[in-house]
Structure 1
Amino acid sequence: MVQLDLIELADLVRPEQLVAEILRQNPQLPIPVPIEELAHLAGISKIEAFDSVGFEGALLTNATKSEGAIFFSSLSPRPRQRFTIGHELGHFLLPWHRQTSFQCTAEDISSRSKKDWELQANQFAAELLAPEPLVRRLLRPLKEPELVHILQLRDEFGTSFEMTARRVVELNDYACAVVFSKDDVVRYTIRSEFFTEWLSVRKGDRLPAQSPSRNATSDPEEWHEIEAHWWLAEPTGRSHQPETIYEQTLVQDFGHKVTLLTYEPE
């Protein structure tokens, strides 16, 4: 049974602190994380879908934040809706988010947001829906990262593939990185702490010309080995870099692709 002692949350001001306390109170937290149940225990009396093309989610609350209502877009896929609920719950629980109403666009609930409170609400949602201890526990027996592992965890956590990929890379004990692109143009990249090389592509760059990721089709279980210089920047202060790099690519709808990169550390 999920529980929530709000008194223990009262003095916590950072997303990771709030999530850590929720996990402490719920050591057997089930997955997918019951985000609606947690929201109701926090004081959210209403969670409803609404038809909107302008806003992804909204929070209405009283001045003391003793109760509130969360609304999410009925047009979004279910994993996106769960993230939106988590995002608005973050606004509700973070004490310095003092507004009594938030209307959040698709950009607010994405990696493109530049607003501090939206970034923190996103962090809260990601860490709550895919908690670090649970992600690490599931990754441990899987060993080296693969796209099929991300697909597996996506289904287990009820999260989007993109959010799951970010969490898998951020919490991985192997040298891996993921490149998110649209129409063969890089949107952004994420590296694990063990991926110590610098990527040669940045936001707005085209995918490397010799990379199989440029193909229109892909098998997410197939690995490709190519010369590392196509993906890695020239080393500075070191005499060499890995000679080859391995990649897997998942082709998604509307020109989106996710490319997983890994190499053997020297």
Structure 2
Amino acid sequence: MELADLVRPEQLVDEILKQNPQLPLPVPVVELATLAGISKIEPLSSQGFEGTLIANAEKTDGAIFYNGTVPRSRQKFTIGHELGHFLLPWHRQTTFECTAEDISSRARKDWEVQANQFSAELLMPKMLVKARLQANGDPKIAHIQELSSQFEVSFEAAARRLIELSEHACAVVFSKDNVVRYWAKSDYFGEQVAVRKGDKLPHKSPSKQAESDPEEWHELIASWWVKERHDDDMPESIYEQTLCQESGYKVTLLSLS
């Protein structure tokens, strides 16, 4: 694959898709990594790292190791992340040892953020995801579940991708034990989300309940979730759906329409 002149994650993935027009779903990341020059992909045996790339100086051959104890969707994201390090031209190191934080939304180093962007773009290509979002209309928890299943990615990764590409005024809040971990909002969600990392979920919100029906929408006072503005454009209502997961994790989808 002639990819050396492509420097942005989206450019790389666009070229990969162009060269592989019949790419099946879920995206076969192992096969693509092999085509790109990765000769070995194996579970990781060392402790403390989620993924490792070891390549030659010319970046024509490499090996990827991943944490074999996590769900397969997580393993595939890690493989995609390390492949990003291998293909992105300014990632000049021949060895990358990436922690769980590096391969997450908490990543801070530029090259780790870019490798995450590459993996998300590769596993959930923008063109394919947007086509499904447009066909589905207003976002729902069920649409996130469909994306997670179709593209074989984690629910959280699918939720972030939906929000990133949605043309609707929506946001998603990730929490554990009713405490906010982080949130993301679409470009069309013009309000400021009122909660921050470490805050408790809004006191009167159904999202605090121990159980939920992810198909049920709740109409709430907008100021429970978004910062108040004293003008006529402040929405009166916001709509909420929540999916309760294992070990106290929850995902709450917010919509202004």
**Which of the five TM-score ranges fits, normalised by the shorter chain?**
over 0.9
- Give 4+ residue runs of structure 1 displaced > 3 Å after superposition: none
| Alignment of 1:16 onto 2:10 | yes
| Alignment of 1:95 onto 2:89 | yes
Residue 3 of structure 1 corresponds to none
Residue 242 of structure 1 corresponds to 235
> For residues 152-198 of structure 1, what are the alpha-carbon distances to aligned partners after superposition, in whole Å with 9 as ceiling and x for unaligned?
11000000100000111111121110001112111111111111111
* TM-score in terms of structure 2 length: 0.97
* TM-score in terms of structure 1 length: 0.94
Residue 77 of structure 2 corresponds to 83
What RMSD, in angstroms, separates the aligned Cα atoms of the two structures? 1.1
Q: Which amino acid aligns with 1:225?
A: E
- Structure 1 residue 28: deviation in Å? 2.7
Q: Go from structure 1 to structure 2 and tell me whether the alpha carbon gap of 1:100 and 1:145 turns closer, same or farther (over 3 Å shift).
A: same
> 3-state SS of the aligned residue for 1:207?
coil
Gaps of 5+ in 1: 1-5
Residue pair 1:51, 1:75 contacting (<8 A) in 2 also: no
Residue 222 of structure 1 corresponds to 216
Residue pair 1:183, 1:256 contacting (<8 A) in 2 also: yes
Residue 141 of structure 1 corresponds to 135
Residue 23 of structure 2 corresponds to 29
State the distance in 2 between where 1:61 and 1:39 align.
13
Q: Percent identity?
A: 63
Residue pair 1:52, 1:75 contacting (<8 A) in 2 also: no
> For residues 195-214 of structure 1, what are the alpha-carbon distances to aligned partners after superposition, in whole Å with 9 as ceiling and x for unaligned?
11111111221111011101
How do residues 60-209 of structure 1 correspond to structure 2 at under 5 angstroms? 60-209=54-203
Gaps of 5+ in 2: none
> For residues 97-156 of structure 1, what are the alpha-carbon distances to aligned partners after superposition, in whole Å with 9 as ceiling and x for unaligned?
111111111001001111111100000000110000000111222111100110011000
State the distance in 2 between where 1:53 and 1:182 align.
25
Residue pair 1:187, 1:204 contacting (<8 A) in 2 also: yes
